[in-house]
Amino acid sequence: GASAAVAFGWSLRPFLSDGLAGLYLGIIGRHAPGTPVQLPDSRGTIHLPGPFRTVVRTESGALHTVPNRQLVTESSEASLGGRTAITVKLSLPLDRPPRSGLAAIQWACTLLPWTGEEPAKVRPPGGHSDALWIVEMVILGNAPPVDKVRAVFFDLVLAVLQSEPTDAAASVDAPPPESLD
């Protein structure tokens, strides 16, 4: 039932994150053959870009297949080095249980290709009439303007919420992102 759907959705998280990262790399022009990249253990150039994984030729001449989300993280840290802490305030629909909101926010944080390794800090709404969630996250230097990051993040959260059943009994807690990797 619902727990199987949540488990299946969480299993797709890396695939979706790689796809978003590949799309973003293409938009900013950093996903073409010959583009220099920094990998965890070496440097190289993009040999064959792909929608989810990219083949990189290292300085030693070896070919490595790398998830696109790793290219986004590594390229941004290597070339720009910047990290920015941002706060996003979300007003979510009240017809969803708080656990659904938290799971959707955590999922969206892990899907954004511009977030660093630090987990986001999430403050739930204060009361029943207040639906304002406060999310503090760190974005990398390759991120688009903060307004765009906020808009994409909000759209991701709403898409996750709209795909869940509205019945509170059917809502299942998703595991926190840190325990998935």
| pLDDT score for 65 | 92
Per-domain boundaries in the chain:
2-76, 84-163
- Backbone φ and ψ for 15, nearest 5 degrees, come out as -60, -45
CATH class belonging to 84-163: alpha beta
Reported as half-sphere exposure (CB side, CA atoms, 13 A), residue 16 has a value of 14
Q: Which residues of the chain have pLDDT under 50?
A: 73-80, 166-181
What is the reported pLDDT for 166?
A: 45
pTM of the full predicted structure?
0.46
pLDDT digits (tens, 9 = 90+) for 22-53: 887 777 777 888 888 877 677 788 899 998 89
DSSP-derived secondary structure letter, 171: -
Are 90 and 79 in contact by the 8 Å Cβ rule? The answer is no
Question: What are the Cα distances from residue 139, in Å, to 5, 25, 72, 146?
Answer: 29, 15, 11, 9
Question: Looking at residue 104, what is its pLDDT?
Answer: 81
Q: List % helix, strand, coil for the chain (3-state, nearest 5).
A: 40, 25, 35
Quick check: 128 and 96 in contact, CB under 8 A? no
Per-residue pLDDT of 75-92, as tens digits, reads 444 444 566 777 888 777
Task: Tell me the CATH number of domain 2-76, given options 3.30.360.10, 3.40.50.360, 2.30.30.60, 3.30.450.40.
Answer: 2.30.30.60
Beta bridge pairs of residue 36 = 45
